[in-house]
Amino acid sequence: MEPIITFKERCRLCYSCVRSCPVKAIKVDNGFAQIMYNRCIGCGNCLSCPQQAKAVVDRMGQTQELLTSGAPVVAVLGCSFPAFFHAITPGQLVAALKNLGFCEVHEGAYGARMIADAYKEVLRQTEIPLVSSHCPAVVSLIERHYPKLIPNLAGVVSPMIAMGRFIKGILGKDTKVIYISTCIAGKFEVQAAESSSAIDVVLTYQEIDKFFKGRGINPASLAEAPFDGLDPDNARIFTLTGGPLKVFEVEPDFLDTEIISAEGENHAIDIIRDLAAGRITPSFVDLRLCDGGCVDGPARDQTLNHFYKRKLIVNYNDSTLPYKTAPHYRSTTSIPDLMRPYSNKSCRLPSPGKDDIKRILHSTNKFTQSDELNCRACGYNTCREHAVAVFQGLADIEMCLPHNLQQVEDDRGRLMQKYELIRRELDRQLGDDPIVGNDSKIQEVLELIRQVGPTPTTVLIRGETGTGKELTARAIHRLSLRNDKPLVTVNCTTITDSLLESELFGHKKGAFTGAIGDKKGLFEAANGGTIFLDEIGDITPKLQAELLRVLDLGEVRPVGGAAPKKVDVRLIAATNKNLEQGVSEGWFREDLYYRLNVFNIHLPPLRNRQDSIPSLAEHFLDKARKKLNKNIAGIEDRAVKAMQHYPWPGNIREMQNVIERSSVLTKGTIIRLENLPTIFADTYERCSNGEVNRRHASFKAERELHISRTEKNLIQRYLEETGGNVAKAARLANIPRRTFYRLLEKHGLEIVQRVRTKSAEQEAPE
């Protein structure tokens, strides 16, 4: 497994890894940034991901397995260890490692000591510019990205590999060697074929520290133990800036241009690029990718500054460390083969032509040079570099931040336009719809709407389904002084009980599973305007109590929140339930009932509004005409008559649907009885037979019919003239009030008039 992995789900596409990768070995694809290992040089920069989406693969389990396998396991400490384990002595660190189960502990600096002689030899023999190879990231950089310089690489192993070969050469191949340092590239290096089997595991200081903690080992409490192997002497400074040249005994003069010693990815890449281009031709280039040398490798102690770490290393170099060297390490034949080969590991990506770049730039709205902002938000230094990466399949177009912002702005504009269109359409469909009807009942309703509209009074609208309760609520809001503020409509049965409370009153973050943030409720959304609670008879007793609180105190309490919020909302409620029965049966709170029942509007069912059927039919036909863009002139009389005798269980909504459906079905310009659902033909037949039968009935029956009609018309007229006041109407008709009531009953002129009549009666004494 590769030493660094990506946790897809943590990647938030901030492109910080793209930005920090010196060789752009990151591919953004499928919604996350992944490492392209064939381009990666193991510098470890991507581990600084703010979301911790990149992590070093845990090798502690593997180490533990080796330690318990029975094979001898040797620990080798990289030269920089005193700058990490600075709170304990080197001898205590050795003791702690032995406590973990390591049989020997060596200083990796001895590896630097060993390769120094090899370097002197290679330097003496080489005539082309020689590039040092002790930094595995620099080796990878050349093998993967500048293969032209492979012949320039010193064919000498790194100090780490030298140590592995040295120890295994003496103790035998079955010995396991674990190298511990600040280096991440070393983890990649030991996986490469060229250095395989020299080192078994590479750990960072952090990993070994975790190991101590996991095993309850406190190195500071331990007595010092001596190192094994050989004392590296002054090779301990190898880790520092300038350290390798000192150890290799290559000491240039101040003005020397033949020897280059540099650190840091920018310098290293610049120098390698110039070498490859032949712009510089020094005799020796000593390079390390980490700025500050190995002591400042990616797994360093981040809390210490470079110069303090330098001081720690210098002190360590000056001190005498306890050593207990076994005689076999002193044998002159113990020095292993320190040479190594290299291979071309570059994989060339396709190069885009000018037109390709242009096309990609255009797709992110970059048409002129000034459109190329080179803002680097995508992680690439220039818009062109990003375009090349897009062409090569490394980057996404969507990585361009200015382009995305422009897109969001454009989308916002488009959505605003759509919203505006939909709002107008909704207004057309709902808000501006007139309340149609010329029967006395609906005229009375209209009068009530006109009276209550401009007041702040709570209104309770009652009536069967589809009778126009919502339409009435809209009309009331339109006539109110709040009509410039929202009318929020809530159907209490469409939202589940548990959600309705939070929908109405809002909730605080964490109030329940899924409450990931604070949310305002619909009462707050309606602040200053009106809220229409449809089907109020269906809300739970708990919600009834909360609602009462809103009505009494004018404040809402969000679910999970302690502090109430003031709201100024007018309430219109509607129900087709019998709330009085609810109160007596206990499922509707009495106090809420009285609070709602301030001003009642009762919408009559359509079957009691036969007189309005022709005008409603015409109204809905007009709507269907516009909606379907169909030339329909009218509805034939037979169809209207059938509609007048149909009981309309779904009321006006049903009628609207029937007319729209018939408009779709009709082939001519007139909606005929046959275009209506078949039940209307039956209804028509029944009512026609009734008329024919009546025509053939006796004179007496015919006379009764006419008298009854005249009686009904007269009663309606008296009511109209007295504004629905039954007491006055009875006086005008010169009949007792009780007789007038009986006639109302007989002709089906009920409830609405009676409600009004009752209140009017109280005002008007007999």
600 vs 452: CA distance, rounded Å = 10
From 113-121, 465-473, 674-682, 718-726, span contacting ligand ATP (CB under 6 A): 465-473
Nearer to ligand ATP, 184 or 671 (CB): 671
474: exposed, middle or buried (Cβ count in 10 Å: 0-12, 13-18, 19+):
buried
Among 206, 392, 404, 465, binds ligand ATP (CB under 6 A): 465
Report phi then psi at 603, rounded to 5.
Answer: -95, 120
Q: Which of 151, 605 has the CB closer to ligand ATP?
A: 605
Query: Pick from 106, 134, 469, 728: which binds ligand ATP (CB under 6 A)?
Result: 469
Of residues 694-753, those binding ligand ATP (CB under 6 A): none
Question: Which is nearer to ligand ATP, 78 or 437 (by Cβ)?
Answer: 437
**Bridging pattern class, strands 487-491 and 530-534:** parallel
Find the binding residues for ligand ATP in span 421-460 (CB under 6 A).
433, 435-437
In the 8-state DSSP scheme, what is residue 348? P
Can you tell me the distance from the alpha carbon of 652 to that of 50, in angstroms, rounded to the nearest whole number? 61
Instruction: Please state, in angstroms and rounded to a whole number, the distance separating the CA atoms of residues 147 and 721.
Output: 105
115 binds ligand ATP (CB under 6 A): no
- The residue (of 8 and 627) whose beta carbon lies closer to ligand ATP is 627
Nearer to ligand ATP, 449 or 592 (CB): 449
Residue type, 33: A
**Calpha distance 550→552 (Å, rounded):** 6
Least distance in Å: CB of 491 to ligand ATP?
7
Q: What are 100's two structure tokens?
A: 């973990």
What is the total count of residues that contact ligand ATP (CB under 6 A)? 18
**Largest interatomic CA distance in the chain:** 144
Q: How far is the CB of 599 from ligand ATP (least distance, A)?
A: 17
One residue of 100, 230, 360, 471 binding ligand ATP per CB under 6 A: 471
Least separation in angstroms between CB 570 and ligand ATP? 18
CB of 472 to ligand ATP, least distance (A): 7
Q: How far, in Å, are 83, 506, 655 from residue 439 at the CA level?
A: 96, 43, 16
Nearer to ligand ATP, 396 or 470 (CB): 470
* Token duo for residue 334: 């113990």
User: Which range touches ligand ATP (CB under 6 A), out of 79-87, 141-149, 189-197, 462-470?
Assistant: 462-470
Q: Does 468 bind ligand ATP (CB under 6 A)?
A: yes
Q: How far is the CB of 380 from ligand ATP (least distance, A)?
A: 57
Q: Which is nearer to ligand ATP, 336 or 437 (CB)?
A: 437
470 contacts ligand ATP (rule: CB under 6 A): yes
- In the bound state with ligand ATP, the residue whose beta carbon lies nearer, of 555 and 611, is 611
Q: Beta strand 284-288 with 130-131: parallel, antiparallel or unpaired?
A: parallel
Tell me whether residue 3 or residue 466 sits nearer to ligand ATP (CB atom): 466
Q: Which is nearer to ligand ATP, 285 or 652 (CB)?
A: 652
Give 429's DSSP letter: I
Neighbouring residues of 626: CB distance < 8 A, sequence distance ≥ 6: none
The residue type found at 560 is G
Alpha helices in 398-468, H assignment, sequence order:
401-426, 440-452
> Which one, of 109, 332, 339, 48, lies nearest residue 237 by Cα?
109
* Shortest reach from residue 534's CB to ligand ATP, in Å: 5
Q: Residue 142 or residue 536: which is nearer to ligand ATP going by CB?
A: 536
**Residues within window 615-674 making contact with ligand ATP, judged by CB under 6 A:** 619, 652-653, 656
Radius of gyration of the chain (CA): 45
- Rounded-to-integer distance, Cα 407 and Cα 395, Å: 18
Retrieve residue 455's tokens. 């007041």
User: Cα–Cα distances in Å, from 692 out to 637, 687, 688, 696, 699?
Assistant: 17, 9, 6, 6, 14
Cβ proximity of 39 and 23 under 8 Å: yes
In whole angstroms, give the CA distance from residue 145 to residue 347.
8
Residue 465 beta carbon to ligand ATP: minimum distance, rounded to whole angstroms? 4
Q: How far is the CB of 655 from ligand ATP (least distance, A)?
A: 8
Residue number, 277 or 426, with CB nearest to ligand ATP: 426
Of 297 and 463, the one with the shorter C-beta distance to ligand ATP is 463
Asked if residue 371 binds ligand ATP (CB under 6 A), the reply is no
The distance of closest approach from Cβ of residue 356 to ligand ATP in the complex, given in angstroms and rounded to an integer, is: 57
Q: Report the alpha-carbon distance of residue 479 to residue 133 in Å, rounded.
A: 86
**Residue 571 Cβ, how far from ligand ATP at the closest point, in Å?**
16
Binding mask 168-187 for ligand ATP (x = CB under 6 A): --------------------
Tokens of 74: 């040797």
According to the binding rule CB under 6 A, does residue 539 interact with ligand ATP? Answer: no
Closest C-alpha among 185, 172, 309, 192 to residue 240: 309
The 10 Å Cβ neighbour count of residue 408 is 10
Least Cβ distance, residue 653 to ligand ATP (angstroms): 4
Nearer to ligand ATP, 181 or 467 (CB): 467
> Residue 462 has which token pair?
């009652």
> Quick one: which of 82, 232, 466, 521 contacts ligand ATP (CB under 6 A)?
466
In the bound state with ligand ATP, the residue whose beta carbon lies nearer, of 243 and 468, is: 468
We find the least distance from the C-beta atom of residue 598 to ligand ATP, in angstroms, to be 20
Give the list of residues 6+ apart from residue 168 with CB closer than 8 angstroms, or none.
Answer: 175, 177, 197, 198
Q: How far is the CB of 657 from ligand ATP (least distance, A)?
A: 9
Tokens representing residue 135 in the block: 């930094």
Q: Is 534 in the site for ligand ATP (CB under 6 A)?
A: yes
Closest contact distance (angstroms) between CB of 477 and ligand ATP is 13
Contact code string over 571-590 relative to ligand ATP, x by CB under 6 A? -----x--------------
- Tell me the sheet residues that pair with 519: 507
By beta carbon distance, the residue nearest ligand ATP is 468
Minimal CA–CA distance to 233: which of 217, 214, 246, 224?
A: 246
DSSP letter at 138 equals H
Binding footprint of ligand ATP on the chain (CB under 6 A) = 433, 435-437, 463, 465-471, 534, 576, 619, 652-653, 656
